Structure 1
Amino acid sequence: MKLEGKSLKHDFFRFIIPSLIAQWVYALYTMIDGLFVARGVSELALSGVNIAMPFVTLLFSIALLFAVGSSTIIAIYLGEQQDTKAREVFTQNILTVMIVSILTTVIVLWKSRDIAIFLGATDLTIEYVQTYLNTIACFSIFFICSYSLEVLIKTDGYPMKATIIVTTGAVLNCILDYLFVMVFHKGVWGAAFATGLSQLCVVLLYLTHFCSSKTHMKLVRFTPSLSLLWRTIKIGLSSGITEFSAGIVIFLFNHAILAYLNEEAIVSYTIVTYVSTIIVMSMAGIAQGIQPLVSYHYGKKAPDNYHRLLKYALYFGTAFSVAAFIISRIIASPLVNLFISPELTQLRMDSVRVFYTFSYSFLICGFNIIIGGFFTAIEYPKSAMAVSLGRGFVFVAVSLQVLTRLFGGDGIWWAATLAEGMCLVLTLGLFVYYKHHSSNENIGAEIRK
């Protein structure tokens, strides 16, 4: 396997950089859709796409749940030199993902209107929301499989190949979006169809790798194991929730905005969401990048190595957070102008103000995501779950409730920063507990020797 190279630091960057690029590309998928919809249809249609966005993040989170869980187990088995078991895990994961994808498609097509209303669609946006949901649902299997295979190909030792394939899909998405929205004038349906079609092509590209002689992950005969499925879910659930947290946050904010402000404010939040998603997915990219390496060295019983990997990730994440904060404030005005028509001057000004306020959360989120991902990689599912639930739902809901009661609609824009700060306290507490617990285990192991 290609999980050990020249040095640990070299391995870190060899996996982190492709993982980051892949996450940026995935984030750009939705931004590209939004940009073409805003310019090719209307700002109201952009709001509709944003309201439907939690469903897209749900698809990616399902993929990540099974991919991270199975890749962690695979990497541990590889570290223990149990290649046959690793292939059985890979095979069961592929079958599970396909079954879940089909069930997701059926449910969404059956209840799309109800789901659209639940997500926050109004009389003005429900047609856009339902169209986007139905179209994306038809491609669910490709969304889930593409993201799942992207994680697994990195565990297979080919992080750069994953990046090349994902980037190819993004370029294709841009081309198809332009054709279907701007040339053929297919509106929201065209944007969704273009994205789904590009995901299908990405899956085909991944299959060329997994069907080749280069891969170590081949489909084999296996006996379905519920205990393996449960282990996979336990390990991957926190990563799935972290991924889905973007969708949950969008859902909570959309409802708060409609309750305290108006539909125009959703346009402002949509633009902020695109940048916020890039930042969050970048941090998730760092966590996912070190995951196979950490799990591999954890399987080899080499704590010094996987602790060093965490230290590298935290240093890198801190530098990235500061850079993201500064850059996001510089590009706020030009970015807003891309999405909002020149005649809507007040909406442009309000959106920039919202952007400045929201950007403070970028400084904190990395610590929570990276340490949560580390807990996942070393099979500390309870700690990982606590962090994911905290930042993905609990603290956001609490922050929105408290700040809107104190400051009304203006308080909404500070909720993300408060939620990340509250989660940071929890994350640091859990990490201190882990360090104390692991230190005691190491001392015990030395005494037993």
Structure 2
Amino acid sequence: MPAATQPRTMAEGSIGRWMLSLAAPAVVAQVINLLYNVVDRIYIGHMPGVGATALTGVGLCMPILMLVNAFAMLAGAGGAPRAAIAMGRGDNDAAERITGNCLTVLLAIAVALTVTFYAFAPQLLRLFGASDATLPYALSYTRIYVLGSVFVLVVLGMNPFITTQGFSKFSMLTTVIGAVCNIVLDPILIFGLGMGVAGAAVATVLSQGVSAVWVLLFLCGERTRLRLRLPNLRPRAKVILPCLALGVSSFVMLSTESLLSISFNASLSRYGGDVAVGAMTIITSVSQLISMPNQGICQGGQPLIGYNFGAGRPDRVKKAFACQFGICVGYATLFWAAVMVFPHLFVNIFNSDPELVEYTVWGMRIYMAGIFASGFQTSCQQAFVALGQAKVSLLLACERKLILLIPLIFILPYFMPDNKVFAVFLAEPVSDILAAATTVTVFMTRFNKILKAGPGKA
């Protein structure tokens, strides 16, 4: 008996099958995208003699890398859900205008970020906690990376427009191709050509360049439903501003990650020195193993939720959210258990220096004590994005980091003067649990009201 074929639109067929077909490739893409930075850190952390210092230096670059990603999501995470809602209404012309306008904004942002970060990199890295020992490594990586930031913005900002059309496997290949290039180039440039940290940055830029070409070729090709057309590249306020308004939530989430990284590194450098900052670099890398797959699950769920919301199918919206919620919470809980029981397994991937390993294991168990709550937070907050609820999504994005976590990083050490590093790490689980409780409560209160109002209010 032949296998059943997937219905042509997301308003038909099994929610579970649609979620699997959309989310699975998105999760794989997020995990592979994580390899861009993780593989660099793994190789750098095992450089003979200087691995721990070089790894700490590269970790100090993260606020700048996160800001580049944040600006990509400003257009991509805001424009793609708007395009999905437009397609659900049957207005593909409007969806194409959104796609073209978002590309133009991304290119303009790339120019501004490249000039700014290249010029002010030394001052910024000192602000982030760089010492005399770690600054040369941090500066070398940062300046090369920002020269290729246009590729990062195109990949992260435009790939969601491929996913939102239902071409999730193709969007996954965007990341797979780049990650494979990075994995191959890293050892060649770092060790083979003796370029060290600079080689890791060059490998990342070249790999992102290949992925950017791949994305643009698809969006200009025959298979896409949202083709890039020259007239649509001219920015129009009524097209781009609603996208940016919706994307502000994702922008705030990632840009505050940058501010958060600065806050953690500055405090840890002050209270624990380079070893504490190095530990935070590893902990951040491990924490991305939970945040990025959950983001992938929600990236797969967003087109399904947005399309059915635009098509006036609240019953399917509820089923899609329930599926997304269950997967995110389940994964976060399993990951939390693994980190609590086997922390050495994760830490040894990045470095084998005994002092750094033991320090990181201690810090990780504190930092990730409440990481299970991230599944609740991410699934509900991203569902608001899929429903076009920019203001609520933005408020929830701000709450955990700006209202809770960043203040706690600086306040808690004053209440625990005997162990200030412990207090800095403790800020994370306290914020995770409080923010998740608030987000779930707000979502459950507003969800039915949003569905009843319909997409006209999105």
TM-score, normalising length: structure 1: 0.93
Q: Sequence identity of aligned pairs in percent?
A: 22
Q: Name the structure 1 match of 2:17.
A: 10
Query: Contact between 1:5 and 1:11, CA under 8 Å: does it hold in 2?
Result: no
Q: 1:227, CA displacement in angstroms? A: 2.8
The alignment status of 1:233 with 2:244, answered yes or no, reads yes
Q: 1:441, CA displacement in angstroms? A: 4.6
Q: 1:115, CA displacement in angstroms? A: 2.0
- Report which stretch shifted further, 317-326 or 344-353: 344-353
Q: Name the structure 2 match of 1:433.
A: 445
Query: Contact between 1:15 and 1:290, CA under 8 Å: does it hold in 2?
Result: yes
**AA paired with 2:429?**
T
The alignment status of 1:106 with 2:106, answered yes or no, reads no
Q: Name the structure 1 match of 2:153.
A: 144
Secondary structure at 2:61 match in 1: helix
**AA paired with 1:146?**
V
Query: Contact between 2:104 and 2:235, CA under 8 Å: does it hold in 1?
Result: no
Alignment of 1:35-114 (within 5 A): 35-40=42-47, 41-114=50-123
Query: Contact between 2:127 and 2:266, CA under 8 Å: does it hold in 1?
Result: no
**AA paired with 1:186?**
M
Structure 1 435/217 Cα, relative in aligned 2: closer, same or farther at 3 Å? closer
The alignment status of 1:364 with 2:373, answered yes or no, reads yes
The alignment status of 1:194 with 2:203, answered yes or no, reads yes
1:355 alignment partner, one of 364, 373, 390: 364
Q: Give CA deviations for 1:348-373 in whole Å, capped at 9, x if unaligned.
A: 22221222222223201121111111
2:412 alignment partner, one of 399, 403, 421: 403
Q: Name the structure 2 match of 1:25.
A: 32
Structure 1 405/167 Cα, relative in aligned 2: closer, same or farther at 3 Å? same
**AA paired with 1:13?**
L
Tell me how far apart the structure 2 counterparts of residues 363 and 242 of structure 1 sit (CA, whole Å): 18
RMSD after superposition: 2.0
Number of equivalenced pairs? 441
Query: Contact between 2:35 and 2:179, CA under 8 Å: does it hold in 1?
Result: yes
Alignment of 1:132-211 (within 5 A): 132-211=141-220
Query: Contact between 1:246 and 1:277, CA under 8 Å: does it hold in 2?
Result: no
Structure 1 164/441 Cα, relative in aligned 2: closer, same or farther at 3 Å? closer
Q: 1:339, CA displacement in angstroms? A: 2.8
Q: Name the structure 2 match of 1:447.
A: none
Q: 1:208, CA displacement in angstroms? A: 2.9
Tell me how far apart the structure 2 counterparts of residues 425 and 206 of structure 1 sit (CA, whole Å): 38
Query: Contact between 1:291 and 1:377, CA under 8 Å: does it hold in 2?
Result: yes
Q: 1:236, CA displacement in angstroms? A: 0.9
Q: Give CA deviations for 1:247-269 in whole Å, capped at 9, x if unaligned.
A: 33222111110122111111111
**AA paired with 1:276?**
S
Structure 1 437/212 Cα, relative in aligned 2: closer, same or farther at 3 Å? closer
Q: 1:429, CA displacement in angstroms? A: 3.3
**AA paired with 2:406?**
A
Q: Name the structure 2 match of 1:303.
A: 314
Tell me how far apart the structure 2 counterparts of residues 239 and 307 of structure 1 sit (CA, whole Å): 22
Query: Contact between 1:23 and 1:278, CA under 8 Å: does it hold in 2?
Result: no
5+ long unaligned stretches in structure 2: 1-7
Tell me how far apart the structure 2 counterparts of residues 159 and 439 of structure 1 sit (CA, whole Å): 26
Tell me how far apart the structure 1 counterparts of residues 87 and 18 of structure 2 sit (CA, whole Å): 16
Structure 1 347/89 Cα, relative in aligned 2: closer, same or farther at 3 Å? closer
Tell me how far apart the structure 2 counterparts of residues 2 and 22 of structure 1 sit (CA, whole Å): 23
Tell me how far apart the structure 1 counterparts of residues 286 and 194 of structure 2 sit (CA, whole Å): 27
Q: 1:292, CA displacement in angstroms? A: 1.5
1:321 alignment partner, one of 332, 339, 349: 332
Q: Give CA deviations for 1:256-296 in whole Å, capped at 9, x if unaligned.
A: 10122111111111111111012111222222221112111
TM-score, normalising length: structure 2: 0.91
Q: Name the structure 2 match of 1:125.
A: 134
Query: Contact between 1:4 and 1:11, CA under 8 Å: does it hold in 2?
Result: no
**AA paired with 1:289?**
G
5+ long unaligned stretches in structure 1: 443-449
- Report which stretch shifted further, 387-396 or 377-386: 387-396
Tell me how far apart the structure 1 counterparts of residues 216 and 241 of structure 2 sit (CA, whole Å): 26
- Report which stretch shifted further, 327-336 or 262-271: 327-336
**AA paired with 1:79?**
G
Q: Name the structure 2 match of 1:255.
A: 266
The alignment status of 1:286 with 2:297, answered yes or no, reads yes
Q: Name the structure 1 match of 2:3.
A: none
Query: Contact between 2:63 and 2:257, CA under 8 Å: does it hold in 1?
Result: yes
Tell me how far apart the structure 2 counterparts of residues 300 and 208 of structure 1 sit (CA, whole Å): 30
